[in-house]
A and B are shown apart, each in its own frame.
Chain A
Amino acid sequence: MIPGVVVDAVVEEPFACHPSFAQGYYDRDNAFYLEWDRIARDPGDARGLARRNGSTTWRRTPSTVEKWGAAHWDALRPGDAMSGQVNYGRYA
């Protein structure tokens, strides 16, 4: 729980943490992390890619989510594992 007094902005951003993950929504994109290892060995490539990230390629708007392709996100999507019901008790 985060108290409101320390929050300046709340942003709705689908897949905002990709290639990191959000429990229950999408899994860690390990293939991407490995890919970054390769990219980071070549600073020119890394810088170029970061700049491209900064412009359009990885922009996480709904349109970019489409651009990556539904199959990509489906592969990262976990199955359901719902918590059971919790009885908090009803009090008058």
Chain B
Amino acid sequence: MRDAVADLVRDGDTVAIEGFTHLICFAAGHEIIRQRKRDLTLARMTPDVIYDQMIAGGVREQADLLAGSATPASDRCTRSDAASRTTIRSRSRSRSTRTSAWSAATWPARSNLPFFPIRSYYESDIPTVNPKIVPMTVAVRRRDRGLRRPAAAPRRRDRPRATRRRERRRADLGLARLPEGGGVRRGAGHRRRARRSWRNR
């Protein structure tokens, strides 16, 4: 453990010691304290005693923790954070996030991508307190166009619903273009149904 931490953890790194109640590697956290690593960003899906201890051990510059989780361990971190506020608050900043956003943040890091799109913060206040969440416009996302759609596709299609959904998702990811007309057979019937209701998709 001593060699692994010495080789792999440098001051200023972002460190994730995971484990959901089970298999939380305290030995790694303690070794990091012992080697007096500094200015780490501590990342974890759920707060736990291990990060309380690392915060108390003075290794962190900030913590990326998933707050408000339903685990019994979460309140201890909160309590310990209250303790740490009195002593090391000036050096510590915590940024809360959500499980889905957490995944969205760690996938690109592991896959060497610059970002990962996520919808769950849409129209919430969370982006105002976390500058890392940036709104973006997805070119083709029929669902997101919502009420502003002037007219919607008719019920009658030339391919099954599952196929259309797959094509739409691939288009959303930029992997493919929607077929001409969105896979919709255009004609008099379409125009009539579209006029009747934009919900008629």
Q: How large is the interface on A (under 10, 10 to 19, 20 to 34, 35 or more residues)?
A: 20 to 34
Query: Given contacts A22-B23, A33-B73, A40-B76, could you give 10 more A-B pairs where the C-beta distance is less than 8 Å?
Result: A8-B4, A11-B27, A20-B23, A36-B53, A40-B56, A40-B80, A46-B84, A50-B33, A53-B34, A60-B1
Q: A51 to B33, Cβ gap below 8 A? A: yes
In-complex Cβ contact of A43 among B8, B34, B54, B56 (8 A): B56
Q: B23 to A53, Cβ gap below 8 A? A: no
Q: CA separation between A82 and B57, bound complex, in Å?
A: 39
Residues of B within 8 A of A53 (CB): 30, 33-34, 53, 57
Tally of contacts, chain A with chain B, CB under 8 A: 113
Residues of A within 8 A of B80 (CB): 36, 40, 46
Q: CA separation between A81 and B75, bound complex, in Å?
A: 32
Q: CA separation between A41 and B25, bound complex, in Å?
A: 23
Q: B22 to A21, Cβ gap below 8 A? A: yes
* Total count of chain B residues near the partner, CB < 8 A: 37
Return the chain A residue nearest B22 by Cβ.
A21
A interface residue numbers (CB < 8 A to B): 6, 8-9, 11, 13, 15-23, 28, 33, 36-37, 40-44, 46-47, 49-51, 53-55, 58-60
Q: 1/0 contact trace for B14-27 toward A, CB 8 Å?
A: 00000101111111
Given A8-B8, A11-B4, A50 and B26 touching (CB < 8 A)?
no
In-complex Cβ contact of A41 among B24, B33, B79 (8 A): B79
Given A41-B79, A43-B83, A59-B30, A22 and B56 touching (CB < 8 A)?
no
Residues of B within 8 A of A58 (CB): 26, 30
